[in-house]
Amino acid sequence: MIRIPQDLTQRLRQAVENAQKAGALPTFEIPPLKVTGTRRPEHGDYATPAAMQLAKLARARPDQIAGILIEYFPQTEYIGSLERAGGFINFRLADSWLQQQVERILEEGPSFARMDDFAGKRAQVECVSANPTGPITVGRVRGGVMGDTLARLLRAMGYDVELEYYFNNAGRQMRLLAESLRARYRERLGLPFEFPEDGYQGDYLYDIADQLIAEHGAELADEEDLTPFKEYAEAKIFEMIRAALRRINIEFDNFFNENWLYENGAVDRVVEGLRERGLVYEKDGAVWFKTTALGMDQDKVLIKSTGEPTYRTPDIAYHINKLERGFDLAVNILGADHIEEYPDVLAGLRALGYDDSRVKVLIHQFVTLKEGGETRRMSTRKGEFVTLDELVDEVGADAVRYFMLARSPESHMVFDLDLARKQSNENPVYYIQNAHVRCVSIARVAEERGVSMEGGDVSLLTDPRELALIRKLIELPEVIDLCVRELAPHKIAFWAHEELARVFHPTYEEIRALHSEVPEELARARLKLYAAARVVLARTLDLMGMSAPERM
């Protein structure tokens, strides 16, 4: 499937070269040129300000250059017209080509907008990566939705993608969790208990304690070893997390335990590797990474004076592991609170001779919950959170996915719970899904009335509204490309709502297919159009991990 802006950009460049060869333009190095969609129909479908960009280099007036570029532009079937508008060049798609795309979408079906740019390449997306100390917070959910959607978009571009969850089940936090569970266990058994200071206060530990009692009775009541509590809590909490994520269609391919990096010596090798390169020194009993030698503000600690590594040492080892597993692209989705850590990781990778350009980091800002006009702080420790399960119960899985996705990562997102509750009837989610429902519905009614789209002649689709809908349908490959190129999965959510569904509904409302005044020939052609729209809507919803309902 052709991506028009990319193709036009190439042709534009060709036009400049052609004009230069012919002597119509002076010779100069051609800067990157830009072709964009337009905001107004009178500006055509695509436009370029290239002539203005080139005015200085070519030492000529923009409108003259525009004329020259048009003259030397390599024509192609999809371009209906190209015209000069001051310094702009406006492109308009050919009606006949657009009509033909309806057939094409129907032929491609569910594999429409499946591209092979990165066929044979492997990508990994790491997200969520919360330690198993409690239900995941809404911030992690945001990262998970972004990651899973990005994974789907990468697959559409041909990547073989793995979704990975990185976790740490050792250390102080897990010990605290185990102590908290032991306290709840004893509490439920009616025994004296000591709840640890800074322990995990959430109700979920009561549930887990109850399950523990159901399985083991009181046999662990005097257990000194924390291990059984830790293992039990970890297993149950992971179960909770996975089940909750599954409800919003997020299924991880791999869970990676940080501990393995210690067991196989990868963490030690990071320190040794850096030491061999003279980037390590000891001070105050700690081992330091001389990041100032790599252009950073201050040196960082690799191993604390207690002998335990800091988080950044295994993090470097983990990223090396990703690269050694052969991923061509490894995207890490992180909350803003981790913003300081990845420069260290990348510096470590570079210092050890790895190609850090394969590692990309996508940072998202926090999610604030608002309820009753008040913002709520999330804290796993204090047990103050709205769980993903609760969120799904309140607004539905599709709405959770959509809302978490439909904001640019750097925006500080406010999730208004009151609004979300109310919103079940006036939600953008339904606007998109209803478009799909309408396509299914018309096909059903057509069948009931014995009208088939077979043999429909798409060249009858000449109404501007019909053509406008086709224009939107064929944008999907461009949108996917854009999302992947910019690592901006939220853009497909905007497009689905504000472009695709927004153009669909008025068209559907006004362009009737099964009406007594519509000749059957035209009806068949329109049924094809709506069948194609269904294909694109279903594909778009699938890319966002949302359902494509057949009835509302």
Partner RNA sequence: GCGCCAGUAGCUCAAUGGAUAGAGCGUUGGUCUACGAAACCAAAGGUUACAGGUUCGAAUCCUGUCUGGCGCACCA
Nearest CB to RNA, comparing residues 209 and 546: 546
Q: Which of 79, 85, 42, 81 has the alpha carbon at shortest distance from 66?
A: 85
Nearest CB to RNA, comparing residues 11 and 407: 407
Nearest CB to RNA, comparing residues 207 and 457: 457
Query: What residues does 364 pair with on adjacent strands?
Result: 335
Nearest CB to RNA, comparing residues 6 and 201: 6
Distance CA 13, CA 11 (A): 5
Q: For Cα atoms 443, 445, 446, give the angle at the middle one, nearest 5 degrees.
A: 65
Is residue 88 within 8 Å of 49, Cβ to Cβ?
A: yes
In angstroms, give the least distance from the CB of 426 to RNA.
4
**Token pair 């570079």: residue:** 350
How far from 489 is each of 144, 150, 160, CA to CA, in Å?
12, 6, 17
In angstroms, give the least distance from the CB of 370 to RNA.
8
In angstroms, give the least distance from the CB of 422 to RNA.
8
In angstroms, give the least distance from the CB of 172 to RNA.
6
Distance CA 189, CA 234 (A): 21
DSSP 365-376: --EEEEETTEEE
In angstroms, give the least distance from the CB of 549 to RNA.
9
| 3-state secondary structure at position 236 | helix
User: Quick count: other Cβ atoms within 10 Å of Cβ 97?
Assistant: 17
**Token pair 């926090």: residue:** 366
Name the helix (H) or strand (E) containing 175. Answer: helix 172-188
Nearest CB to RNA, comparing residues 277 and 422: 422
Query: SS3 for 251-265, per residue?
Result: CCCEEEECHHHHHCC
Nearest CB to RNA, comparing residues 206 and 431: 431
Distance CA 282, CA 480 (A): 49
In angstroms, give the least distance from the CB of 516 to RNA.
7
- Side-chain-side CA neighbours of 550 within 13 Å: the count stands at 4
Nearest CB to RNA, comparing residues 227 and 516: 516
In angstroms, give the least distance from the CB of 185 to RNA.
25
Task: Show the beta-strand stretches assigned E in 285-341.
Answer: 286-289, 300-303, 329-335
In angstroms, give the least distance from the CB of 219 to RNA.
32
Torsional sign, CA 52, 58, 60, 66: negative
Distance CA 138, CA 243 (A): 15
In angstroms, give the least distance from the CB of 37 to RNA.
5
Nearest CB to RNA, comparing residues 56 and 246: 56
Is residue 461 within 8 Å of 467, Cβ to Cβ?
A: yes
In angstroms, give the least distance from the CB of 19 to RNA.
18
Nearest CB to RNA, comparing residues 212 and 362: 362
223: phi then psi, degrees, rounded to nearest 5: -70, 125
Name the helix (H) or strand (E) containing 93. Answer: strand 88-93
Nearest CB to RNA, comparing residues 222 and 448: 448
Q: Which of 224, 178, 221 has the alpha carbon at shortest distance from 200?
A: 178
In angstroms, give the least distance from the CB of 212 to RNA.
25
In angstroms, give the least distance from the CB of 377 to RNA.
7
Distance CA 198, CA 180 (A): 9
Q: Which of 297, 324, 302, 326 has the alpha carbon at shortest distance from 314?
A: 302
In angstroms, give the least distance from the CB of 533 to RNA.
11
| 3-state secondary structure at position 326 | coil
In terms of Cβ atoms closer than 10 Å to its own Cβ (0-12, 13-18, 19+), residue 509 is exposed
